[in-house]
Amino acid sequence: MALFQSPNGTKDWLAPESEHLAYLVESFRNQAELANYHLLLSPMFEELGVFVRGVGDASEIITKEMYEFTDKGGRNLALRPEGTASVMRAFLQHNPPSPFKVWYAAPSFRYERPQAGRYRQHHQVGLEAIGVDDPNLDFEIITLLTNWFHLIGLRQLSLKINSLGDDICRPAYLQSLTSYLEKNQSDLCREHQERWQVNPLRVLDCKKLECVGVKENAPKIKDHLCSDCNTHFATLLSALDDHGIDYVLDDYLVRGLDYYTRTTFEVACLSLESAQNAIGGGGRYDNLAKSLGGKDTPGIGFASGLERVLLACQSQGISFGEQQGPSVFVIDLLNGKEARDITLVLRDFGISCERSFGSRSLKSQLRQADKSGAKLALIIGEQEKENDLVQLKWLSDHKKERFSEFLTTVTDGVYDISGGNTSFPPEFFSTENKARIVQYHLSDTLPAKIAIWVIKEFLNDK
């Protein structure tokens, strides 16, 4: 066993899974850019206050899960447990025009009990739009999340929605919830018997049987919304209805962070275990700017955990295509300039190319070429150098057949110059080259420049 392992709750992502994660980020970026969201790169750590004041000192993320540290200059810092507070800090610092529409893809750190789909370092993609309180923006944000999931092929999704009210209506609701919980505190789960006063809304989120029993009869926020919150929520729901987007109203959806106001939403993937089936969620945070010392500025956003999305894809058999090996593997029997040259030229041509290093035998290099998944081995030895030739060896039989066919078309094209075949450079049609192409048929070799040209044409030929 290696002397060091990755820290508990973290994971090294190797190919092909690392490439699946990269694909997810790429598809997310495409979606975000279609709606004019631009990339924000912010630091992986912030002053502790950004999260304590932003996310809220009663939330579990802050009280139990945050990675805090003091740097050598004595500053209190924390690794980012989530993205929104950092985005708002950046907005307040730079004062960009609103709406400030950004996307990000970044690691988040939470000291949680590691299990499938729950890591101490996980990776989130997210969108935030700051500066507008129009429910049409809530609609845009929610549909960007659900559209992205559909685009990557996920099905069996459930979109849950709630409104948590605002500064006008929430205090009265909290009072009524608090007095209800006070009367029923002895029936709550052990943790909430102690903590219900610190954050009464979190009881609504508790999945323990005792709390589930109590919350069924608890007052509901929807019966306490003020008229502005009611209108905002009704407008959003009717937009979702207009576009045939299914949702479930969930009175208990309060989410784990204290900054949410009005709209909150979460997407659950029903093919995952319920403890880890939240694959994305977010909401409005109209008070966040103020709690970070800025002026009142509304905002809304979401984040989605890539590891969970990947699990969801795997649970539904979504494939990301096979891992691609290089197109060409250069076998260097001379340990010299020729292999270096040809490798550079192939890559310049946009042909993915691997080569061997360290003067190994032909047999061992061919074995390496096979393992790499390359389609074609290109062999350079003494004879090839002398005659400006390369030897081609197709590593997949299927390709070999197709290549022969392809080459027939090419040679026909060469002989039929008057037919105006323009897809080859003029020097390709020289008498000398024609002779060499015919020679290929006989000996499986081609002059280096023509080989590169033909390989490129062939690999692009679907």
Of the pair 307, 332, the CB lying nearest ligand AMP is at: 307
Nearest approach, Cβ of residue 220 and ligand AMP (Å) = 22
- Cα–Cα distance measured from residue 142 to residue 268, given in angstroms and rounded to the nearest whole number: 13
Nearest approach, Cβ of residue 13 and ligand AMP (Å) = 13
Nearest approach, Cβ of residue 221 and ligand AMP (Å) = 19
By CB under 6 A, residue 298 contacts ligand AMP: no
Of the pair 214, 278, the CB lying nearest ligand AMP is at: 278
Give the contacts of 377 (CB within 8 A, at least 6 positions apart).
Answer: 328, 329, 330, 331, 366, 369, 392, 393, 394, 395
Closest of 373, 304, 265, 266 to residue 21, by C-alpha: 304
Options 89, 122, 170, 202; binder of ligand AMP; rule CB under 6 A: 122
Tally of CA atoms within 13 A in the half-sphere of 162 that contains its CB? 23
Q: Rounded to a whole number, what is the largest CA-CA distance in the chain?
A: 97
Give the contacts of 456 (CB within 8 A, at least 6 positions apart).
Answer: 349, 350, 351
By CB under 6 A, residue 303 contacts ligand AMP: yes
Binding mask 207-246 for ligand AMP (x = CB under 6 A): ----------------------------------------
By CB under 6 A, residue 133 contacts ligand AMP: no
Options 51, 91, 103, 119; binder of ligand AMP; rule CB under 6 A: 119
What single-letter DSSP state applies at residue 322? P
Options 56, 99, 165, 281; binder of ligand AMP; rule CB under 6 A: 281
The phi-psi region of residue 95 (left if phi > 0; otherwise alpha if psi is between -120 and 50; otherwise beta) is left
Options 11, 29, 118, 399; binder of ligand AMP; rule CB under 6 A: 118
Give the H or E element holding residue 367.
Answer: helix 362-372
What single-letter DSSP state applies at residue 42? -
Of the pair 112, 228, the CB lying nearest ligand AMP is at: 112
Nearest approach, Cβ of residue 236 and ligand AMP (Å) = 19
Question: How many residues sit close enough to ligand AMP to count as binding (CB under 6 A)?
Answer: 18
Quickly tell me which residue has 């499986």 as its tokens.
Answer: 444
Site for ligand AMP in 307-346 (CB under 6 A): 307-308
Nearest approach, Cβ of residue 305 and ligand AMP (Å) = 2
- Cα–Cα distance measured from residue 367 to residue 361, given in angstroms and rounded to the nearest whole number: 10
Nearest approach, Cβ of residue 323 and ligand AMP (Å) = 24
Site for ligand AMP in 31-90 (CB under 6 A): 82
H helices of 158-208, where?
170-184, 190-195, 200-205
Options 256, 301, 326, 447; binder of ligand AMP; rule CB under 6 A: 256
By CB under 6 A, residue 11 contacts ligand AMP: no
Torsion angle defined by CA atoms of residues 337, 339, 340 and 345, in that order, rounded to the nearest 10 degrees: 120
76-79 sheet: strands from edge to edge:
45-47, 76-79, 68-70
Nearest approach, Cβ of residue 63 and ligand AMP (Å) = 14
Of the pair 206, 279, the CB lying nearest ligand AMP is at: 279
By CB under 6 A, residue 112 contacts ligand AMP: yes
Options 124, 146, 264, 297; binder of ligand AMP; rule CB under 6 A: 124
For 90, the 3-state DSSP assignment is helix
Nearest approach, Cβ of residue 99 and ligand AMP (Å) = 21
Note whether 264 and 163 are within 8 A (CB).
yes
Nearest approach, Cβ of residue 81 and ligand AMP (Å) = 8
Of the pair 258, 384, the CB lying nearest ligand AMP is at: 258
For 70, the 3-state DSSP assignment is strand
Give the CB-nearest residue to ligand AMP: 305
Nearest approach, Cβ of residue 51 and ligand AMP (Å) = 12
- What does the buried/exposed string (b/e) look like for 62-79 if buried means 16 or more CB atoms within 10 Å of the residue's CB? beebbeeeeeeeeeebbb
- Cα–Cα distance measured from residue 70 to residue 73, given in angstroms and rounded to the nearest whole number: 8
Footprint on this chain of ligand AMP (rule: CB under 6 A): 82, 110, 112, 117-119, 122, 124, 256, 278-281, 303-305, 307-308
